[in-house]
C-alpha cells in the first residue's frame, strides 16, 4: 500500500500534466503523510538534494556548451569533419555523425547537438540531394553520442542518484568506449545507405584550406582535451574541470573566434539559468522522493521481485533493458535517472554488476528514448530543425533504431567496452 500511495500519486499527477519536478515533490509529501513522517523532514531532503559540491559540474558544463554552441563552434566542427570524411560517397552523412561526436564531447547535450549540427548540416544535405527525412534521422540518432562521451551532464546526475558512490571521472572515461562504438556503427549505417541509394560523393578539400580549417577547429576541440586530460592527470577533478571548461570556452569564443557579440552574453546567461533552474528543482524534489522510497523499502521490494524472476544476471539485465526502453519513451531522461537509479542500484550490486557499467547501460537505454515518440525531446527538436514531420522522421529512423539496439546489447553484455578504459587510465 505504501508503494501504491507514493507511485500512484506520482503517476496521477503526471497524467494530469503536472511538471515532473512538482509531481515528484507533491507525491513525496503524500507518501510522507501516509507513513507519518513530518513534512519538515521532506523539506530538509529537498535542500540537501542540491547542496552538493559535485552538482556544480552541471551548470558549468551547460554554460560551456551554450557558449560554444552559439559562438560558431558547430560550423567549425562541421568543416573539420568534412576534411576528415567528407570526400567519400555519402560523405555529408558521415560528416554529420563525426561533427556530432566532436560537438557532443564539448556540449554534453543531445538537444544542443541536434540543434547546432542539424541547423548547419540538414539544409546542406538537402541541397546536395539527400532526403530531408534521412538527414534528420542521421542528425537525431548521431546526437545520442553526446549522452555518453564526457562531459555528459547525465553521468553527473547518475553519480548523484547513486548516492555519490560512483565516481564522475570513472563515468566520464567509461563513456568513451560506448561513444566510439556508437559513432562507428552509425558511420557504417551511413556508408551502407550511401552505396545503396547512390548518395553524392563529396569533394576533397585542398591541403592549404584543410590546414586552415583544422587549426580553426582545434581551439574549440581543446575544450575536450582540457577536460579529459586534466581529469586523467589529476590536475583537477571532474567538477573543477567544468569551471575550467567555461573559462576556456569563453576565451575561445570571445577572443579567438569573435563571432559572438558581447551584448548577447546576458541573454545567453539568462537562457542558461532558466534551463538550470528547471534541472535543479527536479534534482531537489527527486531527492525527497528517493528519501520516501527508501523509508518505504521500495528498492528492496523491487530487488526481491527481480530476483524472483531469475538468478541469471543476463536475464535480469534483459528485463531491465526492456523496462528502461519503455519508460524512456514515456518520460524525459533526467527524472528517470533520478528516480530509477536508487531503485535499481541494489538489484545490480546484488548481481555483481559494476555500477559504472550499469550507468552506461542506462544512458544508452534512455538515450534511445530521447529519439523515440511519444516523448522524445531530441526527436522533436530534430524534426523542427529539419522541417519534416515526426511521422516521416520516425520512419527514416527505423534502421537506426536497430543499430542503436545492437549497440545497447553490446554495451550490456560486453562490460569491457565500458570498463576497460577506466581500468587502464584510472
> What confidence tens digit (pLDDT) does each residue in 246-267 have?
898 889 888 888 888 888 888 8
pLDDT mean over 167-190: 93
Instruction: Check residue 254 and report its DSSP letter.
Output: I
Question: Quick one: residue 260, left, alpha or beta (phi over 0 = left, psi -120 to 50 = alpha)?
Answer: beta
Asked whether residue 54 carries a pLDDT value surpassing 80, the answer given is: no
pLDDT mean over 213-233: 84
Asked whether residue 2 carries a pLDDT value surpassing 80, the answer given is: no
pLDDT mean over 214-219: 88
pLDDT mean over 121-137: 90
Percent of the chain surpassing pLDDT 70 = 100
- Other Cβ atoms less than 10 A from the Cβ of 426: the count is 15
Q: Name the H helices within 131-237.
A: 132-142, 153-161, 168-174, 176-197, 207-233
- Per-residue confidence at 178, pLDDT binned at 50, 70, 90? very high
Is residue 363 within 8 A of residue 179, CB to CB? The reply is no
Which helix (H) or strand (E) element contains residue 400? helix 390-413
pLDDT for residue 18 = 85
> What confidence tens digit (pLDDT) does each residue in 97-114 have?
998 888 888 877 888 888
pLDDT mean over 40-45: 86
The Cα-based distances of 212 to 70, 105, 252 in angstroms read 21, 22, 16
pLDDT mean over 196-208: 85
The residues with which 89 forms a beta bridge, in sequence order, are: 201
* Calculated CA dihedral for residues 86, 81, 422, 411, nearest 10 degrees: -50
Sign of CA dihedral 314, 316, 319, 320: negative
pLDDT for residue 158 = 93
- Per-residue confidence at 289, pLDDT binned at 50, 70, 90? confident
* Calculated CA dihedral for residues 249, 250, 252, 254, nearest 10 degrees: 150
Residue with cell 541494489: 346
Q: How far is CA 272 from the centre of its chain?
A: 17
Residue ranges of the domains in the chain?
2-425
> What confidence tens digit (pLDDT) does each residue in 13-30 have?
888 888 888 888 888 898
pLDDT mean over 155-162: 90
Kindly tell me the number of DSSP H helices and DSSP E strands found in the chain.
Answer: 21, 0
Asked whether residue 74 carries a pLDDT value surpassing 80, the answer given is: no
Is residue 252 within 8 A of residue 71, CB to CB? The reply is yes
Amino acid at each position: 500500500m505504501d508503494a501504491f500511495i507514493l507511485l500512484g500519486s506520482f503517476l496521477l499527477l503526471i497524467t494530469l500534466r503536472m511538471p515532473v519536478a512538482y509531481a515528484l515533490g507533491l507525491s513525496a509529501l503524500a507518501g510522507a503523510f501516509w507513513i507519518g513522517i513530518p513534512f519538515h523532514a521532506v523539506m530538509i531532503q529537498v535542500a540537501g538534494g542540491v547542496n552538493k559540491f559535485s552538482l556544480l559540474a552541471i551548470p558549468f558544463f551547460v554554460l560551456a556548451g551554450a557558449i560554444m554552441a552559439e559562438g560558431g563552434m558547430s560550423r567549425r566542427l562541421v568543416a573539420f569533419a568534412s576534411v576528415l570524411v567528407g570526400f567519400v560517397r555519402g560523405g555529408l552523412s558521415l560528416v554529420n555523425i563525426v561533427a556530432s561526436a566532436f560537438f557532443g564531447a564539448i556540449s554534453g547535450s543531445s538537444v544542443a547537438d541536434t540543434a547546432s549540427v542539424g541547423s548547419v548540416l540538414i539544409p546542406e544535405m538537402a541541397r546536395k540531394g539527400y532526403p530531408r527525412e534521412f538527414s534528420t534521422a542521421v542528425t537525431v540518432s548521431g546526437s545520442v553520442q553526446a549522452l555518453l562521451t564526457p562531459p555528459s551532464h547525465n553521468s553527473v546526475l547518475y553519480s548523484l542518484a547513486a548516492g555519490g558512490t560512483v565516481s564522475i571521472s570513472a563515468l566520464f572515461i567509461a563513456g568513451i568506449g560506448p561513444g566510439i562504438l556508437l559513432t562507428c556503427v552509425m558511420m557504417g549505417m551511413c556508408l551502407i545507405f550511401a552505396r545503396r541509394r547512390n548518395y553524392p560523393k563529396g569533394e576533397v578539400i585542398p591541403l592549404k584550406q584543410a590546414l586552415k580549417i583544422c587549426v580553426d577547429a582545434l581551439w574549440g576541440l581543446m575544450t575536450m582535451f582540457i577536460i579529459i586530460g586534466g581529469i586523467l592527470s589529476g590536475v583537477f577533478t571532474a567538477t573543477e574541470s567544468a569551471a575550467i571548461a567555461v573559462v576556456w570556452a569563453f576565451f575561445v569564443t570571445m577572443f579567438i573566434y569573435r563571432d559572438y557579440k558581447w551584448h548577447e552574453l546576458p541573454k545567453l546567461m539568462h537562457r542558461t539559468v532558466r534551463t538550470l533552474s528547471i534541472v535543479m528543482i527536479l534534482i531537489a524534489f527527486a531527492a525527497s522522493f528517493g528519501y520516501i522510497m527508501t523509508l518505504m523499502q521500495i528498492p528492496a521490494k523491487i530487488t526481491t521481485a527481480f530476483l524472483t524472476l531469475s538468478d541469471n544476471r543476463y536475464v535480469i539485465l534483459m528485463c531491465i533493458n526492456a523496462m528502461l526502453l519503455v519508460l524512456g519513451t514515456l518520460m524525459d531522461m533526467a527524472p528517470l535517472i533520478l528516480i530509477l537509479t536508487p531503485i535499481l542500484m541494489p538489484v545490480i550490486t546484488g548481481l555483481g554488476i559494476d555500477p559504472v557499467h550499469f550507468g552506461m547501460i542506462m544512458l544508452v537505454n534512455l538515450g534511445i528514448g530521447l529519439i523515440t515518440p511519444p516523448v522524445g525531446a531530441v526527436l522533436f527538436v530534430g524534426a523542427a530543425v529539419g522541417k519534416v514531420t515526426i511521422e516521416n522522421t520516425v520512419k527514416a529512423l527505423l534502421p537506426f533504431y536497430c543499430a542503436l539496439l545492437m549497440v545497447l546489447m553490446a554495451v550490456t553484455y560486453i562490460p569491457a567496452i565500458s570498463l576497460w578504459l577506466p581500468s587502464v587510465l584510472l
